[in-house]
Structure 1
Amino acid sequence: MIVSAAQCRAARALLGWSQDRLAEASKVAKATIAAFEQGKRTPYDRTLVDLRNALEEAGAVFLSDGDLIEGGQGVRLRAL
């Protein structure tokens, strides 16, 4: 799993990041992030990896299906 649009939005919300901040941290164009989060396009895998890496470096932890007893994909903040 790389990162879904919903996880990207949720991770940004948990971190208090704007799309501009994610674009700066990931070196991905804001327009690409906006289109992805709106479900208008799916970026290349390498772009999704860049987004995920930037969010993880800031403290997001991505959960895949089965990481919890109940529930699917998700995101949480890393424990301090």
Structure 2
Amino acid sequence: MSIEILSIRQIKAARALLDWSQMDLAEQSGVSYPTIARLETGDGPVGGRKDTASKIRSALETQGIQFLDSGEVAAGPGVALAQSSSND
């Protein structure tokens, strides 16, 4: 299920699953490092420009991150890392 609202906690959890730093996310998403760092000092939904959240989400989804809505797996929104189809 696709969710409309992306939260700061989901971004941090997704980075942790990928073992990405804020700089890695900035490079992969095309969003500046200062913007990523500023966003992650807050909590709740991602604020700012809509295209910023879209770029971040796209970069994470490209790496296999799935954003989960409340009730899909847990009591609140979350993230999961899709399993690779290759046999590693």
TM-score, normalised to structure 1, is 0.89
Residue in structure 2 matched with residue 30 of structure 1 by the alignment = 33
Aligned-residue CA RMSD (Å):
1.6
Among all aligned residue pairs of Structure 1 and Structure 2, give the percentage whose two residues are the same amino acid: 44
- 1:50 aligned to 2:55? yes
- The number of residues matched between the two structures is 79
- Could you tell me whether the CA contact under 8 Å between 1:2 and 1:52 is conserved in 2? no
**Equivalent position SS for 2:79:** strand
**Equivalent position SS for 1:61:** strand
Unmatched runs of 5 consecutive residues or more in structure 1: none
Residue in structure 2 matched with residue 75 of structure 1 by the alignment = 79
How many Å apart are 1:67 and its aligned residue? 1.6
Decide which structure has greater helix share: 1
**Equivalent position SS for 1:72:** coil
- Give the number of the structure whose alpha-carbon radius of gyration is greater: 2
